[in-house]
Structure 1
């Protein structure tokens, strides 16, 4: 599937990777280049576009933004592009120890981007970018709870996978796991009020009759016995779990989950290995408040120290294992 089809309709999208050197920056550059008719706002949940990888010490691609783009910059990025930017003001999350600016590129720039660390402030930055004229927003993000990528505010995810994840079989297993998570349906039985309330709720809740009631249990990890006792008193109750479901927790609660309706906040809250994930999906009725909005998957067949021939074999094997995905290789976009 061409990148142009991925980006046919979205307002806020996040590019997320499953490992370092997954090719996020190259993919981000290609998306912007493929869509010259929209003005983009760009930010990161960390830092992107720096010269050198902090771990492997190899050079990294710069972020290339056309004139008119708006983005979030730190002091280093501001100094590097002195004279090429219009400073629009401080960005949400800026403070004395780490100042952030909302800027607009006067000419095309090769730069770095950044952003605040909390989801709330990242959402505020998106609003600021839109107010500054951005028609679409691209976020260099990650698949963790501190990233806006798992928020209901994001309507598209572009997943970058790379040879740097580990061996080939490990990568294929992880990709299968992510595709299972992507298939978890969004709950359709909740009213808008109920869904909004559960998204904001930080504790496990039980549906008793037509009402959801908080249990006061913030995580099932370490609270398995307490949850089991509460649920045994309400054998038909559906369960909302806002936090992580891990292999250890699932092993202790598997019999409780079997045949029961479960609602999770986001599929990435399920931190199960592939066999346990398949067991959970087969034995329980699972729905999610926020679906996994993956619109496209890009592969980076190169990793530090990898020879070209090995990269070509890696690419061919992944593509043959997932023929329905139409994977693009970021190395073919350069």
Structure 2
């Protein structure tokens, strides 16, 4: 089985998120592009920043370019359309500006390399994905990253491919440990009761922090953000509080303050796993304190890809790394993209 079999047709918009720079995200992207091309799937590409350039502008390391086939729809910026790259027929010039010019949507008129770019805003990413599907794409791939994790949000994409590799740490065990923490964060379960999900979604859509009480009444907290507001939120807790709804991010300090002042069993709700910013050690500590953290919208992790090579010159034994990662995440398919991203037997 190949990656594309897990992705399409059950998903229309898929994000590819790297655990770190050089984790193999672009290799994963290129592998999916090739597999989609072999199946004749009309493809579109967008990035939450910039990808496809030959050299990383921050680290000055060589990067694998993004190769597309004729007919692929791409979102890029004006200054990234270069003579040495594939020609682009422009469909739309958007109102979104970047330091490299306006973001445009077009179609590759020949096989070749491209730079893909796009907005940071999750709503704008979603809107442009819908525009590309209106231009004929059957599958949209979003190039994301862990520091621009909005692309993995269920509001934006139907599912996420997580790319990890040796570049994350020099120790194979540490790479697996760090990757597991990200997977666990992304895999936080959704709140069970449908009426609670609906109430929490209403609170979040208003951009507020609120408490859902035992009788399903709502108490709003007088704060513009949940960040560093744990002690303020704690002051609103009563014996009847059952859920604390955070419209923003969940951080260690905020959750710890809430839990230390809870008067009974409560659940803390966030929109999805991309809103959780809690280090691994802190998460273990909070769980020992009895943390019940749930999401309104669960993230669908389609697969994990591993890259055993680091640009710093060290590498892991490929088969051992692949097998160890598969043992660590038995419920999620794992592929070695350096070996073609295929052959997963389950």
Q: Same fold (TM over 0.5)?
A: yes
Which residue among 279, 304, 310 is the counterpart of 1:303?
310
TM-score w.r.t. structure 2 length? 0.85
Q: Is the contact between residue 322 and residue 336 of structure 2 (CA under 8 Å) also seen in structure 1?
A: no
Question: Which runs of 5 or more structure 2 residues have no equivalent in the other structure?
Answer: 342-346
Show the 5 A alignment for 1:136-285.
136-144=139-147, 147-168=150-171, 169-191=173-195, 194=199, 196-208=201-213, 209-231=215-237, 233-256=238-261, 259-281=265-287, 283-285=290-292
Separation of aligned partners in 1, 2:107 and 2:139 = 14
CA positional deviation for 1:323: 6.0
CA positional deviation for 1:298: 0.5
1:78 and 2:84 correspond: no
Separation of aligned partners in 2, 1:224 and 1:193 = 23
Tell me the alpha carbon deviations over residues 60-80 of structure 1, each in whole angstroms, 9 at most, x when there is no partner.
111111111111121233223
CA positional deviation for 1:144: 4.8
Q: Which moved more, 1:293-302 or 1:160-169?
A: 160-169
Q: Which runs of 4+ in 1 moved over 6 A?
A: none
Partner of 2:265, secondary structure, is coil
RMSD of Structure 2 on Structure 1 (CA): 2.8
Partner of 1:90, secondary structure, is strand
Tell me the alpha carbon deviations over residues 181-220 of structure 1, each in whole angstroms, 9 at most, x when there is no partner.
2442223424475354234232321113223342132444
Query: Could you say if the C-alpha distance between residues 27 and 82 of structure 1 is closer, same or farther in structure 2, counting changes exceeding 3 Å?
Result: closer
CA positional deviation for 1:243: 2.4
Query: Could you say if the C-alpha distance between residues 106 and 71 of structure 1 is closer, same or farther in structure 2, counting changes exceeding 3 Å?
Result: same
Tell me the alpha carbon deviations over residues 73-112 of structure 1, each in whole angstroms, 9 at most, x when there is no partner.
2123322367822111203524797212111112212111
Separation of aligned partners in 2, 1:37 and 1:287 = 39
1:16 and 2:21 correspond: no
**How many pairs were matched up?**
332
Query: Could you say if the C-alpha distance between residues 198 and 143 of structure 1 is closer, same or farther in structure 2, counting changes exceeding 3 Å?
Result: farther
Separation of aligned partners in 2, 1:227 and 1:193 = 21
Partner of 2:91, secondary structure, is strand
Q: Which moved more, 1:38-47 or 1:244-253?
A: 244-253
1:28 and 2:32 correspond: no
Query: Could you say if the C-alpha distance between residues 62 and 318 of structure 1 is closer, same or farther in structure 2, counting changes exceeding 3 Å?
Result: same
TM-score w.r.t. structure 1 length? 0.87
Tell me the alpha carbon deviations over residues 211-247 of structure 1, each in whole angstroms, 9 at most, x when there is no partner.
334213244443232211111x354331111223323
Q: Which moved more, 1:298-307 or 1:154-163?
A: 298-307
Question: Which runs of 5 or more structure 1 residues have no equivalent in the other structure?
Answer: none
Query: Could you say if the C-alpha distance between residues 167 and 321 of structure 1 is closer, same or farther in structure 2, counting changes exceeding 3 Å?
Result: farther
Q: Is the contact between residue 45 and residue 75 of structure 2 (CA under 8 Å) also seen in structure 1?
A: yes
Separation of aligned partners in 1, 2:86 and 2:20 = 35
CA positional deviation for 1:321: 5.2
Partner of 2:313, secondary structure, is coil
Query: Could you say if the C-alpha distance between residues 235 and 294 of structure 1 is closer, same or farther in structure 2, counting changes exceeding 3 Å?
Result: same
CA positional deviation for 1:273: 2.8
Partner of 2:234, secondary structure, is helix
Tell me the alpha carbon deviations over residues 167-191 of structure 1, each in whole angstroms, 9 at most, x when there is no partner.
3243222222223224422234244
